Structure 1
């Protein structure tokens, strides 16, 4: 298992993980028709743009054979107005690679990046029904806001968490 910064050539692999992990993670949460309509091609275009952005830090997890099996990224959201802060915008893994420590390794890379960027607060937004929120809570994230959002015609509850002690998070990782 290797964790490394993503390059443009990783976009198709990241897109596949993005689509496939949404379909497994959000099954029963987001309408199945919405999940079925997710496109590898559109997500590849999205990830080409995301990886090319200078302000977006994207890391991938790959097998020893070079297959992308997970990714994470950090980007200050446009809605984030807090000084010296950033956002953990995603961590996704293929289902068969979950609970093996890969998410922890991806998060570790992001938090090292945050400390290098002299960020003092990190936010993450996660659907309330997504069990990943417990992963974030385990590493010290504190709930700061609850929002409503719509995906596929369904209103869902989104939780906003904050970390304000990055060194503590790194020590836990």
Structure 2
């Protein structure tokens, strides 16, 4: 499994990973009709544009690729609390905005390799601290981040509503 920077052509594969991950990880948390309606074509176009417009090293995406297939991805950008992408200054945090993998690679070591790559990319970007948000009721993800040095900072907010459901999110932080 190789960890590399994403290129715009990865957009459709990234969308496929995201949709498959959401449909498994968020079953019972996110309304099923929302999960069923997730469109990989539209998401693929958005991810392609996002990858193409990323201002590396302060924003970007890494993918885990094996046998020519994207199995996982992670993207980061300046944290909203840091003034947004155009306004990032020295010392402002970056945000790990998305970290998803195909369900069949969970527990295989792929995600550990990818999070290590993310940590290295954040440190190389001069990031002193990063944040991420995770659904409060997603213990698998919360355990994963805690095992890799991320700590919940006590901040809780709400995501949504997604098809009428509001989802509590917890913020995690990590220093570099």
Assess same fold via TM > 0.5: yes
Task: Map 1:61-72; keep pairs closer than 5 Å.
Answer: 61-64=64-67, 66-72=68-74
Match of 2:159 among 136, 144, 149: 149
Over aligned residue pairs, what C-alpha RMSD do you find? 1.5
Matched, 1:91 2:102: no
Partner residue, 2:47? 47
Instruction: Name which of structure 1's ranges 75-84 and 55-64 shifts more when overlaid on structure 2.
Output: 75-84
The answer on whether the counterparts of 1:60 and 1:70 sit within 8 Å (CA) in structure 2 is: yes
In the TM superposition, what is the alpha-carbon distance from 1:129 to its structure 2 partner? 1.4
Shift of 1:73: 1.0
In structure 2, C-alpha distance between the alignment counterparts of 1:14 and 1:84, rounded to whole Å = 27
- Name stretches of at least 5 consecutive residues in structure 1 with no aligned partner: 167-173
CA distance in 2 between partners of 1:99 and 1:72 (Å): 17
Normalised to the residue count of structure 2, the TM-score between the two structures is 0.88
Aligned length: 164
Per the alignment, residue 125 of structure 2 pairs with 117
Specify the alignment match of 1:133 in structure 2.
142
Structure 2 unaligned spans of 5+: 84-88
**Counterpart residue number, 2:86:** none
Deviation at 1:79, TM superposition (A): 3.7
The answer (yes or no) to whether the contact 2:133–2:170 under 8 Å persists in 1 is yes
- Alignment partners' CA distance in 1, 2:54 and 2:158: 30
| Aligned residue among 146, 158, 161 for 2:169 | 158
